[in-house]
Amino acid sequence: MIAPTETAKEFVNIQLDGQWVQVPKGMNVIEVAKAFGKLIPHYCYHPKLQVVGNCRMCLIEMGTPKMGPDRKPILGADGRPEIAWMPRPQIGCATNATEGMAFRTDSPLIQECRKGVMEFLLINHPLDCPICDQAGECQLQEFSVEFGGEKSRFVENKVKKPKRVDLGERIVLDDERCVLCSRCIRFTRDVVGDDCLGFVSRGSHTVLTAHPDKPFNNNYSLNTVDICPVGALTSKDFRFKMRVWFLKETPSICTSCGTGCNTVIGSREGVVYRQTPRENEAVNQCWMCDYGRLNFHYLNDEKRLTQPQVRVKQDFFPTDWDDVLSQVASSLKNVSPNEIAILASARMTNEELFLVKQLQKQLGGDAVLLDILPRPQKTDHLLVCDDGNPNSQGAQLFGVSQKGKKLETLRQGIASGKYRLVLALHEDLTKLGVSSENLSKIESLISLSLLSNATTEASHFILPGAGFAEKRGSMINVKGRLQRLNKATATPVDAKEDWEIFNSLIARLGGNSFSSIEEVFKEIAATCPALANLSLSKIGDQGIALNFNS
């Protein structure tokens, strides 16, 4: 395990609201204040973006040490430098801590400045929060309550600007709500490298717009919805679907590729409404790709399997878990190990993969074919990984993956009728090139799946499993970081968490079973050196970098 290393920093003494404190040299005042539990309100400043200082909300008072004739600071009775305060307020975002500086973040002048800026921001802004999708997570709303005045003195007509502007495939813009902070412009230009947003017109009539020949369609466009401090940029996928204060927030990870971006799942009453990125410097900073973000709708797809089913001739009949697992167990007992093939998935969690390995052992060890389906894909310059599987490292670690080397054997074995029993775990055999004709040669085809597909249609037993938002567990991303999934919603109807399915099956085959997923992880930690001394709770929300060499 690699402990996060704190790079050696030079510290300086500064005076913050009358208190002398030590902070890293060069840290900007917004971050300094944050470190001491003080909020300096801001709109345009974002720690990951270039500082532009345009919103003027983070104004602070600043002072420097008074210098004597000897060019040394004059010290007061307390041995600290006396401060010469600047008459003009300064912006906190572009002011960096140096020795002897002093800041007032909440003086009468600053309160007046903030009140003034809040009033300016609101005079031409629609005051229709009740119908704005940003309500509840709007910084304009929050800072207005905290720092604004109680009434508007503005009696003129407001500036009219375009509304419901189609900025790209996934983004709608309301120019009247835009506070022109330029975060979105800087993000897409500097972080994504797709310079397609900008301002046109001047003064109070300035509007945000996309380049006429370059719609805002890059794979990171939805991050601008997250960083937009107001309701100007909204996600077509999420807008007006749910008031944000109703959403339960569950920290988790994205399972759409090997990067494993940290996320927050927003759900209500068993339905996932959105995924947003969660800050993790070691993985995704505070971004995620649009594909991964929106890749959750299948959880509520109409093809979702919600009941265990048994096929009799050509018809499927719903049944209960006890029945289906008994039948699967007896089918497994009736074939010899070299007649069994298990196609597992590197989309499964460590705990699930570990149990699949246990199942293989229970069924006869290496005689049973076991492999996963690799998903090589095109990477990009930011977060999309060349591995489309989120847990290839885990599959490798627990001996489930042969990196797809056995898939050809599997294909031929199905065609020749060698494999009389095949377990397809979250994978569709037709994606390997197994024809439906060959699928029908399998005497017992057992599918663990979320959605119906060609393989489930040809199966004798269908086991409905749990999606990434419906279960707990861990995965190891492509860089060897152990991360945790958390359960946001329950499995629908009678679907079951995968680890429980494997657990019951192993028990029915006479193997050891576990009483909880913690127990499973405990066993993993005991048998796998890379995970020694760890537990699910120890992983925490930021994950742990593993050292496979130790």
Q: How far is the CB of 104 from other proteins (least distance, A)?
A: 15
Q: Which residue in 403, 384, 390, 372 sits closest to 481, CA to CA?
A: 390
Q: How far is the CB of 230 from other proteins (least distance, A)?
A: 12
Q: How far is the CB of 199 from other proteins (least distance, A)?
A: 7
> Which residues are 274's β-sheet partners?
266
Tokens of 394: 């885990």
Q: How far is the CB of 57 from other proteins (least distance, A)?
A: 7
In the sheet with 444-449, reading across from the earlier edge strand, the strands are 315-318, 309-312, 461-464, 444-449, 421-425, 340-344, 369-372
In the sheet with 481-485, reading across from the earlier edge strand, the strands are 473-476, 481-485, 544-545
CA distance 237 to 220: 14
Q: How far is the CB of 15 from other proteins (least distance, A)?
A: 20
Comparison of 86 and 526: residue with beta carbon closer to other proteins = 86
Comparison of 211 and 333: residue with beta carbon closer to other proteins = 211
Comparison of 51 and 271: residue with beta carbon closer to other proteins = 51
Q: How far is the CB of 195 from other proteins (least distance, A)?
A: 11
Which phi and psi angles does 393 have, rounded to 5°? -65, -40
Q: How far is the CB of 61 from other proteins (least distance, A)?
A: 12
In sequence order, what DSSP letters do the residues of 2-55 get, joined into one string?
PPPPPPP--EEEEEETTEEEEEETT-BHHHHHHHTT-----SS--TTS-----S
Comparison of 140 and 397: residue with beta carbon closer to other proteins = 140
Q: Which residue type is seen at 117? A: V
Q: How far is the CB of 238 from other proteins (least distance, A)?
A: 22
Q: Which residue in 60, 63, 46 sits closest to 117, CA to CA?
A: 60
**Cα-based angle 371, 376, 381 (whole degrees, multiple of 5):** 145
Q: How far is the CB of 219 from other proteins (least distance, A)?
A: 26
Comparison of 50 and 416: residue with beta carbon closer to other proteins = 50
Pairing of strands 90-91, 369-372: unpaired
Comparison of 152 and 516: residue with beta carbon closer to other proteins = 152
Comparison of 158 and 236: residue with beta carbon closer to other proteins = 158
Comparison of 26 and 376: residue with beta carbon closer to other proteins = 26
- Contact between 252 and 474 under an 8 Å Cβ cutoff? The reply is no
CA distance 382 to 288: 9
Q: How far is the CB of 117 from other proteins (least distance, A)?
A: 5
Sign of CA dihedral 276, 280, 286, 288: negative
Tokens of 339: 């007649």
Comparison of 179 and 372: residue with beta carbon closer to other proteins = 179
Comparison of 180 and 410: residue with beta carbon closer to other proteins = 180
- Contact between 301 and 492 under an 8 Å Cβ cutoff? The reply is no
Comparison of 150 and 269: residue with beta carbon closer to other proteins = 150
Q: How far is the CB of 33 from other proteins (least distance, A)?
A: 19
Q: How far is the CB of 488 from other proteins (least distance, A)?
A: 32
Q: Which residue type is seen at 539? A: I
Determine how many CB atoms are found less than 10 A away from the CB of residue 388.
Answer: 18
CA distance 205 to 207: 6
- CB within 8 Å of 264: residues ≥ 6 apart: 249, 250, 251, 252, 275, 276, 277, 278
Comparison of 128 and 281: residue with beta carbon closer to other proteins = 128
Which positions touch other proteins (CB under 8 A)?
51-57, 59, 87-89, 91, 94, 113, 116-117, 119-124, 127-130, 141, 144, 148-157, 159, 179-180, 198-199, 201-206
> Which residues are 448's β-sheet partners?
425, 463
- CB within 8 Å of 456: residues ≥ 6 apart: 305, 447, 449, 462
